[in-house]
């Protein structure tokens, strides 16, 4: 019975899925920025290292915002009435 009730639940909206994807995108790029910061710690000067990290974080913020914004879709498209010809 629980399996049946699981399948009858409503799906999350497009905005919710978009927000989850945007957060995941941001977290992945934040982790990439952290790894880049640690990897460049001893080989590159601080100014260049911070520029690389800032560039990665800008990509993360812009990408996650655009994923969230465009996932909203607005209103759903209405289906045209069915045509019955007999």
- Count of residues for the chain? 86
Domain count, the chain: 1
Q: Residue 19: inside a domain, yes or no? A: no
Q: Where in the sequence is the domain holding 56, given as residue range(s)?
A: 27-73
8 is a domain residue: no
- With cut-offs at 50, 70 and 90, classify the pLDDT of residue 74: low
Residue 52 lies in a domain: yes
Q: Is residue 22 part of a domain?
A: no
pLDDT at 21: 83
The arithmetic mean of pLDDT across residues 60-68, rounded, is 86
In this prediction, residue 5 has a pLDDT band, given cuts at 50, 70 and 90, of: low
Residue 43 covered by a domain: yes
Residue 67 lies in a domain: yes
Does the residue 81 lie in any domain?
Answer: no
> How do residues 13-23 score in pLDDT, each as one tens digit?
667 777 888 88
pLDDT tens readout for residues 17-62: 778 888 888 899 999 988 888 888 777 788 888 888 899 999 988 8
Answer yes or no: is pLDDT of 2 > 70.
no
Q: Looking at the domain assignment, is residue 80 inside a domain?
A: no
């Amino acid at each position: 019975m629980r399996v049946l009730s699981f399948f009858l639940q409503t799906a999350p909206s497009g905005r919710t899925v978009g927000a989850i994807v945007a957060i995941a995108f941001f977290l992945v790029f934040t982790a990439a920025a952290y790894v880049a910061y640690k990897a460049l710690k001893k080989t590159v000067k601080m100014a260049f290292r911070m520029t690389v990290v800032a560039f990665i974080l800008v990509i993360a913020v812009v990408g996650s915002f655009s994923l969230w914004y465009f996932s909203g879709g607005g209103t759903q498209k209405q289906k045209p009435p069915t045509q019955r010809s007999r």
